[in-house]
């Protein structure tokens, strides 16, 4: 038989077997029933293997892997149930569809057939057309599963290649970009030598370079979250928030932002609630807090200092609900889903700097941690971002 190229999809690989509809193993201890089914399937283009007992059937499977099995339940020595269990417990044969043949119409027997791993059943005496349709259905499902497995394999390969390309792109772009930023710093140190117009242009270049740097960094972060499983540890959310506030100290001071944990803005920090410890990835959860708090500072209303409240409460489902509330410009409810999509920036924030990746990164991180994220907001009335994380035994 001519071999197919290794990367060819299953649908193409099956074309060489077009002369046969498939290989069917029939297992029945009644010779007359075996002959009838065998002749019926052979007349309709199937390749048939016969077995008069469960023991013979198990040996036949080792010699020639069938595409589907018609399996009688009541047989001497080894029952159809046991044959099915043995086949389904073996990774090499677990995916072979098994259609039980049974003379019983009792519901418990049919339920048992599915419990041991059966895919379908036919009641004796059977109608030929019913048997044919059930076999064709199982073969179609099997082929679709092969096609799906192939596509998943291709998708995994594409994701791996994309992750490698993102890393390559990051390093290739960062090197010349760092050179530009470095020389801009040297040029800016000589700013007294330039007129105001030149200073303005140099400032544009510096801002654009920083924006590109941020964009590349966010893109690499998103790619890594998508393709690399995070290492989990016990994370102190209180410490994570402290680090974030330290990172954002410049923006906090510049805007006059008031940030409170577990209490209303303006109340004493010493009276605030201590955030719990959770099982997660410290770097990624810190990224979530930083993106959300940074947005709350950035999207403030003109001439109104940002007021941000961070809280955490357990719910009845064994999860912790974190919330970050601000008094900023707010979000139109029509855009709630869109803001979590990659590269999406809504009209009301296009005059603010950003990459369109921050919230999509938050969503990806939270989902990889087994939680969900959402927002409640109105234009001009501030926003509250919520996200959930599984509570651990050390959460307190």
Domain boundary residue, one of 203, 228, 253: 228
For residue 358, with 0-12 CB atoms within 10 Å meaning exposed, 13-18 middle and 19 or more buried, which class applies? buried
Nearest to 387 by CA among 361, 364, 366, 357: 366
In a domain, 10, yes or no: no
Which pLDDT value is given to residue 351? 65
**Domain shared by 159 and 301, yes or no:** no
Does 125 sit behind a cis peptide bond, omega within 30 degrees of 0 on the bond before it? Answer: yes
The 10s digit of each residue's pLDDT in 159-180 is 777 667 766 766 677 778 778 8
CA atoms of 273 and 254, how far apart (whole Å):
26
- Whether residue 94 is predicted with pLDDT greater than 70 in this model: the reply is yes
- What crossing angle do the helices spanning 128-188 and 196-227 adopt, rounded to 10°? 150
For residues 216 and 235, membership in a common domain is answered with: no
CATH number, position 303: 3.30.565.10
Q: What is the mean pLDDT of residues 80-89?
A: 94
Bridge partner residues of 71 (DSSP): 27, 100
Domain end among 170, 204, 228 = 228
| Residue 134 included in any domain | no
DSSP state of 353: -
pLDDT at 158 over 70: yes
- 57 and 77 Cβ atoms separated by less than 8 Å: no
Which residues, in sequence order, are bridge partners of residue 320?
Answer: 314, 389
Claim to verify: residue 188 and residue 236 sit in the same structural domain: no
**Among the listed residues 222, 208, 209, the one whose alpha carbon sits nearest the alpha carbon of residue 357:** 222
Q: Is residue 201 part of a domain?
A: yes
Residue 149 lies in a domain: no
DSSP 120: E
Please say if the pLDDT value at position 110 is more than 60.
Answer: yes
| Structure token pair of residue 350 | 């296009």
Which parts of the chain are beta strand (E)? Answer: 23-27, 47-51, 68-72, 98-102, 120-123, 233-236, 258-261, 277-280, 307-314, 319-325, 373-377, 383-390
- Stated as kind and residue range, the H or E segment containing 107 is helix 107-115
Residue 98's DSSP bridge partners are 69
Average pLDDT over residues 87-105: 90
Q: Does 352 have pLDDT greater than 90? A: no
Indicate the burial class of 312 (C-beta count within 10 angstroms; 0-12, 13-18, 19 or more). buried
DSSP 29: S
Question: Is the same domain home to 282 and 212?
Answer: no
Q: Which residue range(s) make up the domain with 173?
A: 155-228
- How many structural domains does the chain have? 3
Residues 95 and 48 in one domain: yes
Write down the pLDDT at residue 105: 77
In-domain check, residue 147: no
Residues 267 and 354 both lie in one domain: yes
Residue 148 forms part of a structural domain: no
Question: Could you say which of 209, 228, 247 is where a domain stops?
Answer: 228
**Strand pairing class (23-27; 68-72):** parallel
Q: What per-residue confidence (pLDDT) applies to 90?
A: 93
pTM higher than the cut 0.85: no
Same-domain pairing of 388 and 255: yes
| Residue 244 shares a structural domain with residue 375 | yes
Given its phi and psi angles, is residue 262 left (phi above 0), alpha (psi -120 to 50 degrees) or beta?
left
Which tokens sit at 95? 């995916």
Average pLDDT of every residue of the chain: 83
- Structure tokens given for 149: 């497995």
- Tens-digit pLDDT profile for residues 185-211: 888 778 778 888 888 888 888 877 877
pLDDT tens digits for range 287-306: 999 999 999 999 999 889 99
My answer on whether 219 and 314 are in the same domain is no
3-state secondary structure of 296: helix
Phi, psi of 348 (to 5 degrees): -70, -15
Q: Burial, 222: exposed, middle or buried (Cβ in 10 Å; 0-12, 13-18, 19+)?
A: buried
User: Mean pLDDT across the stretch 27-54?
Assistant: 92
* Residue 268, domain member (yes or no): yes
Residue 368 sits in the same domain as residue 240: yes
Neighbours of 154 (CB within 10 A): 12
pLDDT at 55 over 60: yes
Tell me the CATH number at 29. Answer: 3.40.50.2300
Render 132-149 in DSSP notation, one character per residue: HHHHHHHHHHHHHHHHHH
Q: Considering the domain boundaries, does residue 8 fall inside one?
A: no
Query: Rg of the chain's alpha carbons, rounded to an integer?
Result: 32
| 329 and 299 fall within a common domain | yes
Give pLDDT, residue 269.
42
Lowest-confidence region among 33-37, 69-73, 98-102, 265-269: 265-269
pLDDT band for position 4 (50/70/90)? very low
Q: How far apart are CA 258 and CA 132, in angstroms?
A: 72
| pLDDT for position 99 | 94
- Determine the Cα–Cα distance for residues 20 and 49; give it in Å rounded to an integer: 13
Q: Are residues 291 and 387 in the same domain?
A: yes
């Amino acid at each position: 038989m001519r071999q197919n190229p290794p990367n060819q999809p299953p649908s193409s690989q099956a074309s060489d077997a077009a002369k046969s509809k498939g290989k069917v193993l029939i297992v029945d201890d009644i010779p007359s029933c075996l002959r009838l089914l065998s002749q019926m399937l052979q007349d309709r283009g199937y390749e048939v293997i016969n077995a008069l007992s469960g023991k013979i059937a198990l040996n036949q499977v080792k010699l020639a892997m069938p595409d589907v099995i018609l399996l009688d339940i009541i047989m001497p020595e080894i029952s159809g149930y046991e044959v099915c269990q043995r086949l389904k417990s073996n990774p090499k044969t677990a995916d072979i569809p098994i259609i039980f043949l049974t003379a019983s119409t009792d519901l418990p027997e049919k339920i048992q057939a599915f419990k041991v791993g059966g895919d379908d059943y036919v009641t004796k005496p059977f109608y030929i057309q019913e048997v044919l349709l059930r076999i064709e259905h199982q073969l179609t499902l099997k082929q679709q599963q092969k096609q799906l497995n192939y596509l998943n394999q291709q998708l995994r390969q594409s994701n791996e290649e994309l992750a490698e390309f993102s890393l390559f792109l990051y390093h290739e772009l960062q090197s010349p970009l760092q050179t530009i930023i470095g020389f801009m710093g040297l040029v800016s140190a000589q700013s007294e030598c330039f007129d105001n117009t030149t200073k303005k242009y140099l400032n544009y270049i510096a801002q654009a370079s920083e924006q590109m740097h941020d964009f590349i960094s966010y893109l690499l972060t998103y790619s890594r979250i998508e393709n690399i499983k995070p290492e989990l540890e016990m994370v102190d959310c209180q410490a994570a928030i402290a680090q974030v506030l330290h990172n954002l100290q410049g923006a906090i001071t510049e805007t006059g932002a008031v940030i409170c944990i577990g209490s209303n803005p303006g109340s004493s920090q010493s009276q605030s609630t201590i955030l719990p410890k959770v099982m997660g990835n410290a770097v990624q959860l810190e990224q979530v807090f930083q993106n959300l708090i940074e947005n709350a500072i950035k999207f403030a209303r003109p001439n109104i200092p940002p007021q941000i409240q961070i809280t955490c409460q357990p719910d009845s489902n064994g999860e912790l609900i974190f919330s970050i509330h601000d008094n900023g410009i707010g979000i139109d409810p029509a855009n709630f889903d869109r803001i979590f999509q990659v590269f999406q920036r809504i009209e009301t924030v296009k005059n603010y700097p950003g990459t369109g990746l921050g919230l999509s990164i938050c969503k990806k991180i939270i989902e990889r941690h087994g939680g969900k994220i959402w927002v409640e907001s109105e234009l001009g009335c501030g926003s509250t971002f919520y996200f959930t994380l599984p509570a651990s035994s050390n959460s307190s």
